[in-house]
Amino acid sequence: MTYPESRRDDLVELLHGREIADPYRWLEDPDATETQDWVRRQNEFTQNELEGYAERAWFQRTLSDILARPRAGVPVKKAGWYFVGRNDGSQAQDVIYVAESLDELLSGGRVLIDPNTLSEDGTDSLGSFTVSPDGKYFAYGVNESGSDWTTFRLLDIATGTPVDDVVSEAKFSEAIWLPDSSAYLYLHYPTSGRSEGTTTTSLSGGRLTLHKVGTPQSDDELVLTFPGKDRYFYTPEVTDDDKYVVVHITEGTDYATRLWVYPITSDGLGEPVKVVDTFADEITFVRMSGDQLVLRTDRDAPRGRVVLSSLDGSFTDLIPEGDATLQAVRGTASGLAALTLVDAQPVLTLYTLDGSDRRVVDVPGGGVVGLNAGPEYDELFIGLSTTTDPTLSYVVSTDTGDVRALPELVRGSGGFTPPQVTVTRRTAPGRDVPYFLITRSDLDFSTPRPTLMWGYGGFRIPIHADYRPGWPAWLAAGGVLVIANLRGGGEYGAEWHDAGRLKNKQNVFDDFIAVGEHLRDSGVTTPEQLVIHGRSNGGLLVGAVMTQRPDLFAVALPGVGVLDMLRFHKFTVGAAWASDYGLPDDPDQFEDLLAYSPLHRVSAGTSYPATLVVTGDHDDRVVPLHSHKFIAALQHAQSGPRPVLTRVEVNTGHGFGKPAAMIASEWADLLAFAAHHVGLVPPEQ
């Protein structure tokens, strides 16, 4: 196969005594005419190849039907108002509805904001929203073209009219209101980049800033910053007794937290009380209990516990560590609601404020979409998904434990009917790697079948048997789905995470390979029928294992992946990932990174799996240069007959806020490509 030309330069760097070639560094500039021309030629080549696949029409039609299903998110109650996102199946972005009661919301409610009007092509999205304590203002963050950059705007909730107040150059935050509703806190990154999201400049340090409504942003007050600490992030929260602003200070994606508490005074914020002032343990504020803080922490508890803390930082147990992994805790009118994982499956438990009267709530599902509660309300809303259904929301009385499903949140019907599936829990022996095996209930699996294997394995993020639009399509076509729980994730607590990061990162790849080998050895599939897929850190996972074990997989689908492990820290927010990856500037960590860096593992003359790399040209989190350089290297090195292609989506970012039609199209191309190369023939094709 003759691929579009990718110019190879002779650039070689000496890094820690090693000569490192980087022939495609010119692809790091997304705005260069040559890069844009390369993207255009690659996209044309990929589309010409995919047009010849008979499977593509079925997957496009099926994914369009899946995304055309009416759907709704998880309700949230704020300042006496009820809100929910809803989509009739034809809209690029979910519409936000508001009501004064739950019954009114269930019967329809009133449109508060329609993000589909924010841009002509539907690529601008609503990133977050908060409500002022007096119930007057709706503060919403707009993300342009899938970028992480956020612009905050206000609406009057009662009338739906815009308020003349705009804050820009924000990232990684939402508007956190002070109790008197006069001002909100946000994380400001002045002059750090363009909101359209194509810049690759390394992100400078953020500034926790206070904005007073009705005043220009130039008058905003600086609350907290650490000059020279570009990897520091600040997450504020106002206590439910309105006495304090609690600020979580973290370094990059590391969970270790410093906890500062600012008294709220008549003049603004007082001097901070440094409750915890070292980076040692994960600490998250939950609510107040009298004059003490209720915190979730992994201090002396790898699977997590809930503690009471005085302002001097003395911890006492409230809910001790258990066998389950503590994921989240919310304050309620009756006390606390705790979300735990039992073997990667969610369990919701209610407690009184002293940690007693434990009650497990029957809300079944594979993954948690949302958990919305507040110390002032008895109502708790939880949304759960399965591999074939996106969201079923429940309202729970935290006083009685009564549960009510809310299917009427979804307005309308029609579209795709998902297949009945069977979910089995299995373990790959040797390395004891758990995974979910999902199959269509009506099919005979006595012989090996085409199988798609998904994984992530990083940043203490748990992976569930939950929903992605491609899963019901793949299952409906007759394929097997496998979701692996790898070291580095958050399914089994801090120790499981530690076993898959820094010097232990290779464990993640070995775990994924072990699952693939077990699927082969147990007769579920064969290497000629095995597809691997992952996004972001999961894209790194796919890139690493396909370059280490190209013989084990027929198809590789790395999405928006971190693939150049020697330069990831030089772009946008990349340096923040040092807690999991390490930094190439450190000689020892450089050697660890070089050992598995997918770009640098590509070897000429190797027969690689059929590969379709996907990225977005506005991805300012994992910048597209990773995917560009990787696919250029693969196309140069590929000796086998299988194609290696790239698909670069225009005007989209890392994935958040992508319009429904683009989601359907991307999944259709991925699954058609996979099906074509593993022999999966969809029904009635």
| Number of DSSP helices (H) and strands (E) in the chain, helices first | 12, 40
> Which residue, 209, 174, 215, is CA-closest to 189?
209
Catalytic residue positions, numbered: 536, 654
Q: Could you give the CA distance from residue 209 to residue 190 in angstroms, rounded to a whole number? A: 11
The residue type found at 582 is G
Whether the CB-CB separation of 462 and 327 falls below 8 Å is answered with yes
Q: Report the candidate in 158, 164, 166, 161 with the shortest Cα–Cα distance to residue 186.
A: 166
Q: Are 259 and 248 in contact (CB under 8 A)?
A: yes
CB 563 within 8 A of CB 476: no
Evaluate whether 373 touches 421 at the Cβ level (below 8 Å): no
d(CA 514, CA 512): 5
Q: Could you tell me which residues come within 8 angstroms of residue 117 by beta carbon, excluding any fewer than 6 positions away?
A: none
CB-based contacts of 42: which residues, under 8 Å, 6+ apart? 4, 631, 645, 646, 648
Looking at 582-645, list the stretches that DSSP marks H as alpha helix, in order from N- to C-terminal side: 587-596, 598-601, 625-637
DSSP-based three-state secondary structure for 73: coil
3-state secondary structure 627-658: HHHHHHHHHHHECCCCCEEEEEECCCCCCCCC
Q: Say how far apart CA 399 and CA 268 lie, in whole Å.
A: 35
- Angle at alpha carbon of residue 168, lines to 167 and 171, rounded to 5°: 115
Q: Can you say how many angstroms the Cα of residue 553 is from the centroid of all Cα atoms in its chain?
A: 25
Report phi then psi at 313, rounded to 5: 85, 15
Q: C-alpha angle 154/156/161, rounded to 5°?
A: 90
Nearest to 623 by CA among 585, 567, 578: 567
Report the alpha-carbon distance of residue 601 to residue 596 in Å, rounded.
Answer: 7
Spatial neighbors of 574 by CB under 8 A, at least 6 apart, are 202, 562, 568, 622, 623
Instruction: List for the chain the helix, strand, coil content (%; round to 5).
Output: 25, 35, 45
Tokens at 415, concatenated:
């579209």
Count of residues in the chain: 685
CB-CB contact of 509 with 545 (8 Å): yes
- What are the phi and psi torsion angles at 553 (to 5°)? -130, 145
Phi (first) and psi of residue 468, to 5 degrees: -140, 145
Q: What residue type is 577 in one-letter code? A: W
Closest among 249, 239, 328, 245 to 287, alpha carbons compared? 239
Is 99:112 a contact under the CB 8 Å cutoff? no
